[in-house]
């Protein structure tokens, strides 16, 4: 039997497919996906049952993060936060509460359905310091040096041009600003056929980088004091070569 040739995944195809699939997660969180979704998954990566029980179910029902960066994100009142790939707003809500009374949070997502859901959630929870941006992570519609901290939860592996995302994060951070995020990284490179399958991108494995390569890309983008705060396995990808890492870095 002749093997079927691998289909080339272009940057445009990946972005379009990711926006569509995660839009479906927003509108139909109980759908049939090849990756974990929802409150039970959020609990499995470290969000407490007590916390989630207090929140509207709409905040966690579309959760698809890589892990739980919350214990490591030290946000001070009055700071300006950008959450890249904010989804339905679980992390964003917690950041918004931490910045009051004078702070602000920006929630950015490539999916217009996720942005609409996050906006509704914040309105229902009377969060008045959240601003929403529907855009890809490599084209952040904010001015230079406009935020104190950039957070994310599994967005880099879904971005075909990770270096461009990192450069944008550096651009919008104020001098001395920081980024703290959870991300899927690899113990070793994956076979090409895995990276060529868009379903593996949805699983957050097809676009993941080896851990050390990822750290080098951060340094090249202009970060310093780069530190991996935690690594561990979780149910996000289901692949033996993948890890979830929480990483912190500062703008030079």
pLDDT of residue 252: 87
d(CA 59, CA 55): 7
Q: What is the mean pLDDT of the chain?
A: 95
d(CA 207, CA 189): 11
d(CA 90, CA 55): 9
Closest to 69 measured CA to CA, from 250, 245, 249, 251: 245
Give me the residues paired with residue 149 across strands: 81, 178
d(CA 143, CA 152): 19
- Tens digits of per-residue pLDDT, 111-142? 999 999 999 999 999 999 999 999 999 999 99
pLDDT at 1 over 60: no
Within the chain, what is the greatest distance between any pair of CA atoms? 65
Place 2 in a pLDDT band, splitting at 50, 70 and 90: very low
pLDDT of residue 7: 54
206 three-state secondary structure: coil
- Helix residue ranges per DSSP H, the chain: 11-27, 39-44, 49-54, 57-60, 90-99, 112-124, 162-172, 192-195, 198-202, 211-221
* Structural domains in the chain, sorted by start: 11-251 (3.40.50.150)
Is-contact 109 115, C-beta < 8 A? yes
Is-contact 56 120, C-beta < 8 A? no
- Tens digits of per-residue pLDDT, 155-198? 999 999 999 999 999 999 999 999 999 999 999 999 999 999 99
């Amino acid at each position: 039997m002749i093997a079927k040739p691998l289909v080339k995944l272009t940057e445009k195809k990946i972005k379009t497919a990711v926006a569509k699939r995660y839009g479906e997660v927003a509108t139909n969180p109980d759908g049939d996906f090849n990756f974990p979704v929802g409150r039970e998954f959020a609990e499995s990566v470290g969000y407490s049952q007590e916390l989630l029980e207090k929140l509207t179910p709409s905040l966690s029902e579309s959760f698809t993060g890589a892990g739980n960066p919350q214990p490591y994100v030290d946000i001070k009142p009055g700071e300006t936060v950008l959450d890249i790939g904010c989804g339905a707003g679980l992390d964003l809500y917690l950041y918004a509460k931490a910045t009051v009374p004078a702070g602000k949070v920006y929630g950015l997502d490539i999916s217009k359905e996720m942005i609409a859901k996050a906006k509704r959630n914040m309105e229902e929870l009377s969060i008045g310091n959240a601003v929403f941006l529907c855009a890809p992570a490599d084209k952040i519609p904010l001015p230079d040096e406009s935020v104190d901290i950039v957070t994310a939860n599994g967005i880099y592996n879904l971005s075909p041009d990770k270096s461009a995302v990192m450069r944008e994060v550096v651009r919008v951070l104020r001098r001395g600003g920081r980024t703290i995020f959870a991300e899927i990284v690899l113990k070793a490179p994956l076979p090409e056929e895995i990276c060529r399958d868009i379903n593996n991108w949805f699983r957050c494995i097809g676009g993941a980088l080896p851990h050390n390569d990822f750290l080098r890309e951060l340094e090249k983008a202009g970060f310093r004091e780069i530190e991996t705060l935690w690594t561990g396995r979780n149910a996000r990808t289901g692949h033996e070569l993948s890890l979830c890492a929480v990483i912190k870095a500062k703008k030079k």
